[in-house]
Amino acid sequence: MTLVGLAGLTLIVAAWLVSLPAEPPPVRLSLTYFAGSVLLTLYAAALGDPVFTLLNGLAALLSLANAVRGLRRDQKRAGRAGHEVERVG
């Protein structure tokens, strides 16, 4: 069964990697996902389940990366909006 779990983990991580070039999800969603993934990582570790510990740990890292990407995107948008106002005004 460990091989089945590792195969599932591999497919999920591969899907995440494919999705990285896409627009990041909303920051609030990413931060909520991060918090949930951290808690599930702790839970899986307490159960002694290495596959789910790794999966949820990676999910936490990905959601944190998405939150950072989303914040950077929002800052760029806000910066562009500020420049447009200055030109008009």
pLDDT in tens, 21-47: 889 999 999 999 999 999 999 999 999
Average pLDDT over residues 50-61: 95
As its CATH architecture, domain 2-88 has Up-down Bundle (1.20)
Instruction: To the nearest 10°, report the CA torsion of 24, 57, 36, 45.
Output: 170
Q: Tokens 């790794």: give the residue.
A: 54
Q: Which amino acid is at 43?
A: Y
First CA to last CA across the chain, in angstroms?
65
Q: Give CA–CA dist 20/79, Å, rounded.
A: 23
pTM given for the model: 0.80
